Structure 1
Amino acid sequence: MAGITSRHPFNLYYNAGEYIKICGAQDGYFPDFGHHVPNEMGGVWLHPIKLLDGFWLKITDVDRKIAVWSRADGFTNEAWGSRFHYDHGLGHIPVELERIQFAPEQEKGLIVYYTLRNYGRDDVRLQLELLARTDLRPVWFSEQLGIEDGEQDEVIALAERRVKVKDSGNDWYVEIGSDLPGRIVETGGKVYGPEFTAGSGMGVSFQGEVLLAPDEKLNFRLFVAGSYRSGEECSAVYDRLVSEHETLFGEKQRFYHELEGHAKLEIDGEDLLNEAFKWAKWNNQWLVQSVDGIGRGLTGGGPTYPWWFGCDNTYALQGVLAIGDARLAKDTMDLLLRKSEEVNGNGRMVHEITTMGAVANPGNTQETAHYIAMVWDLFQWTGDEDLLRRHYSYCVKGMDWLLTEMDPDGDLFPSGYGIIEIAGLNMELIDSAVYTAKALQAMVDMSLQLGDEDGAKRYASLARRAVRGVNDVFWREEEGLYADAVASKQDMIGKVDDMVLLADQRGIEGYRQYLERMLEAASDPEAEQGWLLNKNWVIVTPMETGIADPEKAKRALQEMRSSTFVGEHGTYLAGIYQQGTMTISTGVHAVAEAANGNPDEALELLRKMLGTFSKVLPGSFTEMSPDYGCVVQAWTIYAFAVPMIRHFFGVKPDAYRKRVLIKPSLPKVWRDRSCSLSGLRIGEAELDIRIAPGEQEGEQRITIANKQGWHIMLDWNGKRLESSDHHMEWLVS
């Protein structure tokens, strides 16, 4: 479980347990940054509160009269935390320094290990100062709940090497301590390290002096514990960190080693792909957030979006299920359901929930439909009928909300904002229409599973109408593409100026003329038709979901392989603008190709995404490709795991009936290689799948270890083979 080293000191990193999130620069400092809480998104967070702006170590060579605030010149990202190397960052002081930090997975605190070594020929006398800067404050949007930050942080307990600080207006606590030799402790609002961070926090400085003989080492630690509930809890966490830090470190490393073995991908000759897939699983765990009293779930991205989203999770959880983390998928869906029931109650799925429990957006149209489809997906992978029943009643409400309040004209194209959150684009959008059709299909399956045959018949009729409508109304024959939106010419005229202004702001020339040509071609001002406004990436969703007619899918995918839609790093967010790419736009496009029998084209898109791996944070993909936005993003697991597991390996589960269909569709370049997927968890089952060339040309040997004896169906080029043996081996061609 080796880490990846970086030499980009000013890039950000992200360490995480399920409670604590740490974000700073790869030089070991903690610069102010962020816009949700201005200049406060870095540092150490115990959501829903911030604990520290950061921590720093000052080293003074007493005899040489050299003082340095240590700044790392090497950084290694590990799955479980980070290592900082100080090879040249200590000036002419003859010592080397290593800093190792991690957040225990289930504790509200963090541990930092420091190791100093005298590499000189003589004794070296050092003064050391280990300084932390508190900044107890709430997460973004907390004011809407009436929660305000106190005026200042206050020291409420001070011991020889242990300081407890409280927010003056709230029961928020942080306790900081160290086993650094010495007795001096200094605190105060004006006690700073090398960075004058924003906020009204408190400096806590531990100071001491040591003498190191040649090659002698000094090991010491920093412990930070927090609580948003009580001072007693904070101290109890601190005590565990101090007494059990070695055990906690071992547990953390073992946990990430176990994650590596879940849905382990090994494709011969694809070292980078295998490595990136492994890290995508680890990245996913970094984004799990637990908050007492609210729940546990997958957050959107770190450090900018460290809270929960409906839209992001309806994508990301498809990948989470594929890598076998059903518990996380269930926990996240339950959290979204509880908050949607509390805030909306009418079936609408919320868009954005902060870790303080505030809902910043009650929900875009698309994500209610996508949530309904996700519930059925969750059932297929888990077989959990109790969970299905728990969500089903809200899905019924959600379907009614979509087709009544949001669809007043009854065309089964709900209005409102979708995935593309552009002001004014609250129309009948392609993603909302497609996912509504998919949701209706899911409602048929859910209703039948739960014995509601009348409901199933009604939803089946609506689903057929919705699918037909997408293919008839959204399709633009002239371009061979699905439209972004459906509206009348009269409705579109009122949106032209706003859309042109947005294009002008992005430096796009000729956009007004482009829209006016479409308007001139529309003869009936009242008739609804499809409009290809920005060529947004979501026009690929009919192919992603299987809603597109086969011939239309073939033509649209061919069109979307052009340079209009695909750039160096993947699929543009909008073909008109060609100014942004995300792992989600590339991932959905790759899924669409793979789902329509084009694995080679899907792999080509994934390779473009692979070109951005480790650009900013070693072992991760940024929110915006290739190198900006969040340093880790949840829906990247969708982009990797869904095409890889659900399509290339062709895993289609039916966990309730304890059976799995495996219908591989490998890229051509892999057909003469060994391809394996081991530790694949579906419900209570675990499968190992290996596909390798046989002895004869064109022959494939497929081996499946079926540890629980589920019924396995293999579909190879239309030929069906079935078995419930614990070990299966088939030769196919």
Structure 2
Amino acid sequence: MRRRAVAFAVTFILVAGAAHAAPARAAGPPKSAELSTTTRLPDRRAVVIGDRFYSVSTEDGLYPASGWHTQGEMGGFWTPPLKLLDGVWFGLGGQWLGGGQAKAERFTAGQGYTRIAYETGGVRVERTDVAPDGVRAGLIGLRLTSPTARTVRLDVDAHSELMTAYPWGSTTPDQKAANLPDTGAYEGGALVFREQGTPKVANATAHDFAAMVAADRTPVAHQLGAGHRGPQDPPVICPSTGTPPDRCDDTDFGKGTGGRLSYDVKLPAGHDTTVWLAVAGSDHGTAEARTALSAALHDPAGLLARKVAARRSVAANTVVDLPGDRLLQQSVEWSKQNLADSVQQADDLRLRATEEGMAYPPSKGTLARARWIGAGWPDYPWIFGTDGEFTAFATVAAGQFPAIEDHLRTLRDVSDVVNDRSGKVVHEVVSDGSVYFGANDEAGNTDETAKYPSAAALVWRWTGDRRFLDDVYDFARRNMHYVVEKLDADGDGWPEGLGNVERPGMGVEKLDNTVYTVRGLYDLADMARAEGDTATATWATSHGDDLVKRFDQAWWYGGDTHQFADSLDDPANPANDNTKIFQRHWIGLTPLDALLVRSGQATRPLATDAHAREVLDQRERPCYTGENGLYHTGTGPTSAEGGNKGPACDSAVSSVQSDREAFTINTGIMAVAEGNYGRLAQQRRYTDDNARQQLDPSLYEMPGAMPEIVPSPDFDPPNIDRPETGRSMVLQAWGAYGNLWPVVSQQLGVSPDLGRGRLEVVPQVPPGQPSVAGRNIRVGTGSVDVSAAASATSLRTVVTERAPGTRLLIGQVLPSGAAVAAVTLNGRPVPYEVRRTARGGEVVADAGSRGGRSTLVVTLR
């Protein structure tokens, strides 16, 4: 069953990429890779994202109430931190596109745009949506084609909802208190919506929000009124509390208004005519909104072409060739686009700690500009610490360096203001500057404070950007001092606090926090040596070494669990400070996932090879892994209500219930863990799982988009069968970690240390596959091409290096049981070393700093 599904997905990808590529034309996008679907379009969500603007709709071009942070209000049109409209709707000759009489026939996801095809009254319609970068506006182009000459009436309905991203529906204050009524007007051919005033909320300030809607031509008529929702009029209204209907059109948080623009469009026989519509807005009044509207309508086709060209540039980096795994190859291509989609910017943030939504104090400061990698759409498009750290690995592998540098700077800037330069990293920051969780007086998430130095070190190694290192180093140093000195009340070295698994019943000290603290200390030491800070390097290394020495004894649970403990220190029994608690959460993989960079030692994970084999073998069993990926919390004996809900792989009795939801990040971490120990045959099961969520039409919601949670026993029904107000994210950036990093770092073996002018390329060809290759993998200001082939008698690695002044170490991982007979570099015998690593034996040779092409051949015996 699994292999048949994968084979079908590969076939679909190859057909979709070729058969549905759009020809270059005035109305449509230039040719690029595309994926199309024709089934259940009203049930599938779609996102169109630029760095200053995004929209969330269904794939038939309608706008039902969506999302849950403010229930039903997370869809529509946004320019962070402001929602502008619930939606826009198009009527042609009296028939609403996407409605019952003009149903959508096909939805296509392109790289930087989407398209929807309709037919009504003999007129073919192709709708193209794009959010140009750098503009607080979005564009919709309607390409109309008729076999006979005619004039058709085009009606455009728009319904406003000027609303800030925070407060949410359940916070104090909530969005009912913060949201003011909108007004509507018609000015100069445009619908103009405004919300002005000061909410009756303590510490609120006066605002002037504006949204505008106009086309590239003059309307022949207009209307204003409370409705104007196209085929969604009259609307079904979701209540703000309680269980909503399966499908709603608006919510009782809403205080918007509406309008209509009508156009007479002449269609010549057999020729295309394009109408462009723009939606623009601002949280600084109508002047800025009108500037954005004018910029969008000045040259809509040109903006679309520039967006596609920018996405071609994204596609041109990290181009992989995996002849034995085309599914993963396509997943890499679309994941690069997912990451580019996720870049966001907002200006003039007012930074305030909301105490998990229970307060709305005066702002502690402002941030003129924030750029970041959004976590997920539609409910998490803002700034997170944990998400950003995982996404960092995928981002550098994709060569998207500025995005992750901006994200880390934004995290630092917000954290330093809100937390008074304590070194603590905030957890969640909404696009208006509201910090939901992670202030000094809150528990916060220990893991993301410990992760920040590792993310910073990773970016520095890949970019060699000394200015970036100098900029963030002091914050990284303060991060680790905060963890070590403020979050270890009992002095045992294991930090307290929340981690990635925010579930009840855990001990005070969490496994993932420990692992990331060890890694963070070594990464801080590495940066400290580069900065000439010997005292910090010595301090961090000493603490790291101490924790490593004591780690196994403190954390290995053992027995027939074959796993690490999830946490220590039962909170119900303070006397048992070192009690090991076992609950089968996914964080049991973190000792296998996080790599430790230690001076003078080979980079490897924290877990020993023997323990890693036990953990991975166990996690591959049905108690931890389902049809579509790794469960959040595995099954087995438990004292929790409901008892064991799945297979038992051990005899330990947990106090918590299993959670058989498969998150793409958890599956990705399992894939990376397998690769860290050279288990690429086993890794494919997990890279397949995530790739299928993007590319298999029986599984995905939006073609090409990596989701947050996938169909699994405790996530049933899947997103497409759930109400839109109760779904997980249709696009979640951090899932890209599980395919980009295994391919670039493990299979292609690219490991830069550009801050010191060094680059290692030590590939490992997956068993049963002939070769792997990648070109234009960015390292520093240059790039590297890699190809690797393996047979029973030889290994061949070819590296073309375009990174001036970089010393190259070239090699390949030996197959299990193989021995080296001879090694040549560029046809001549060369000295070599066989390093023992967690991946296995690595044959490596020094190729020097000459650049250009280097070919290493290892003859086996």
TM-score normalised by structure 2 residue count: 0.76
Question: Corresponding residue for 2:783?
Answer: 686
1:555 aligns with 2:636: no
2:767 to 668, 672, 676: 668
* CA offset digits 1:141-174 (Å, max 9, x no partner): 3787999645222235512x22322213222111
Equivalent residue letter for 2:131: A
Moved more, 316-325 or 214-223: 214-223
Question: Corresponding residue for 1:251?
Answer: 306
1:349 to 425, 442, 447: 425
5 Å-filtered alignment, 1:267-278, equals 267-278=322-333
Equivalent residue letter for 1:698: T
Equivalent residue letter for 1:41: M
Question: Corresponding residue for 1:658?
Answer: 757
Deviation at 1:465, TM superposition (A): 1.7
Shift of the 556–216 alpha-carbon distance from structure 1 to 2, 3 Å rule, reads closer
1:481 aligns with 2:530: no
Equivalent residue of 1:316, what SS?
Answer: helix
Equivalent residue of 2:161, what SS?
Answer: strand
Question: Corresponding residue for 2:509?
Answer: 428
Deviation at 1:185, TM superposition (A): 1.1
Question: Corresponding residue for 2:166?
Answer: 140
Kept in 2, the 8 Å contact 1:58–1:68? The answer is no
Question: Corresponding residue for 1:73?
Answer: 105
1:6 to 33, 37, 45: 37
Equivalent residue letter for 1:330: E
Deviation at 1:453, TM superposition (A): 2.1
Kept in 1, the 8 Å contact 2:765–2:788? The answer is no
Question: Corresponding residue for 2:482?
Answer: 401
Question: Corresponding residue for 1:503?
Answer: none
Moved more, 273-282 or 555-564: 555-564
1:129 to 152, 155, 164: 155
Question: Corresponding residue for 1:232?
Answer: 287
Kept in 1, the 8 Å contact 2:112–2:307? The answer is yes
Equivalent residue of 2:708, what SS?
Answer: coil
CA distance in 2, matches of 1:583, 1:241: 36
Question: Corresponding residue for 2:387?
Answer: 312
CA distance in 1, matches of 2:319, 2:615: 33
1:192 to 212, 221, 229: 229
Question: Corresponding residue for 2:654?
Answer: none
Name the count of aligned residue pairs: 685
Kept in 2, the 8 Å contact 1:647–1:664? The answer is yes
Question: Corresponding residue for 2:145?
Answer: 117
Moved more, 260-269 or 213-222: 213-222
1:297 aligns with 2:372: yes
Equivalent residue of 1:611, what SS?
Answer: helix
CA distance in 1, matches of 2:536, 2:228: 66
Equivalent residue letter for 2:761: I
Equivalent residue of 1:612, what SS?
Answer: helix
Deviation at 1:425, TM superposition (A): 3.6
2:465 to 384, 406, 411: 384
RMSD in angstroms over aligned alpha carbons?
2.3
Kept in 2, the 8 Å contact 1:141–1:354? The answer is no
* CA offset digits 1:26-73 (Å, max 9, x no partner): 0110000211122111111101001111111112369xxxx9774413
Question: Corresponding residue for 1:507?
Answer: none
1:618 to 703, 709, 715: 703
Question: Corresponding residue for 2:14?
Answer: none
Shift of the 24–454 alpha-carbon distance from structure 1 to 2, 3 Å rule, reads same
2:548 to 455, 464, 467: 467
Equivalent residue letter for 2:591: P
Deviation at 1:277, TM superposition (A): 0.8
Kept in 2, the 8 Å contact 1:177–1:223? The answer is yes
Kept in 1, the 8 Å contact 2:453–2:524? The answer is yes
Question: Corresponding residue for 2:579?
Answer: 529
Shift of the 69–55 alpha-carbon distance from structure 1 to 2, 3 Å rule, reads farther
Equivalent residue letter for 2:704: G
Equivalent residue of 2:388, what SS?
Answer: helix
Deviation at 1:458, TM superposition (A): 2.3
Moved more, 556-565 or 274-283: 556-565
* CA offset digits 1:343-368 (Å, max 9, x no partner): 11211111100000110011301111
Kept in 2, the 8 Å contact 1:294–1:357? The answer is no
* CA offset digits 1:322-379 (Å, max 9, x no partner): 1111111110000000011111121111110000011001130111111122222222
Deviation at 1:111, TM superposition (A): 1.1
CA distance in 1, matches of 2:264, 2:418: 56
1:538 aligns with 2:635: no
* CA offset digits 1:486-518 (Å, max 9, x no partner): 114xx3469xxxxxxxxxxxxxxxxxxxxxxxx
CA distance in 2, matches of 1:25, 1:705: 44
Equivalent residue of 1:36, what SS?
Answer: coil
Deviation at 1:241, TM superposition (A): 1.4
Equivalent residue of 1:481, what SS?
Answer: coil
CA distance in 2, matches of 1:477, 1:163: 66
CA distance in 2, matches of 1:111, 1:467: 54
CA distance in 2, matches of 1:216, 1:595: 57
2:133 to 105, 113, 121: 105
CA distance in 2, matches of 1:426, 1:23: 40
CA distance in 1, matches of 2:691, 2:296: 38
Equivalent residue letter for 1:657: R
Deviation at 1:608, TM superposition (A): 2.1
1:202 aligns with 2:257: yes
* CA offset digits 1:652-709 (Å, max 9, x no partner): 1110122201111221122x23x21111111112111112358xx5323322221234
Kept in 1, the 8 Å contact 2:568–2:577? The answer is no
Kept in 1, the 8 Å contact 2:276–2:300? The answer is no
Question: Corresponding residue for 2:452?
Answer: 371
Moved more, 388-397 or 345-354: 388-397
CA distance in 2, matches of 1:566, 1:32: 34
Equivalent residue letter for 1:622: P
Equivalent residue letter for 1:483: A
Question: Corresponding residue for 1:730?
Answer: 856
Equivalent residue letter for 1:712: L
1:323 aligns with 2:398: yes
Deviation at 1:268, TM superposition (A): 1.2
TM-score normalised by structure 1 residue count: 0.89
5 Å-filtered alignment, 1:2-41, equals 2-7=33-38, 8-9=40-41, 10-41=43-74
Question: Corresponding residue for 1:506?
Answer: none
Equivalent residue letter for 2:125: L
Shift of the 401–45 alpha-carbon distance from structure 1 to 2, 3 Å rule, reads same
Question: Corresponding residue for 1:567?
Answer: 626
CA distance in 1, matches of 2:388, 2:577: 36
Moved more, 328-337 or 143-152: 143-152
CA distance in 2, matches of 1:192, 1:715: 61
Question: Corresponding residue for 2:9?
Answer: none
1:700 aligns with 2:795: yes
CA distance in 1, matches of 2:268, 2:435: 58
Using the aligned pairs only, state the percent identity.
Answer: 24
Deviation at 1:217, TM superposition (A): 4.4
CA distance in 2, matches of 1:68, 1:124: 24
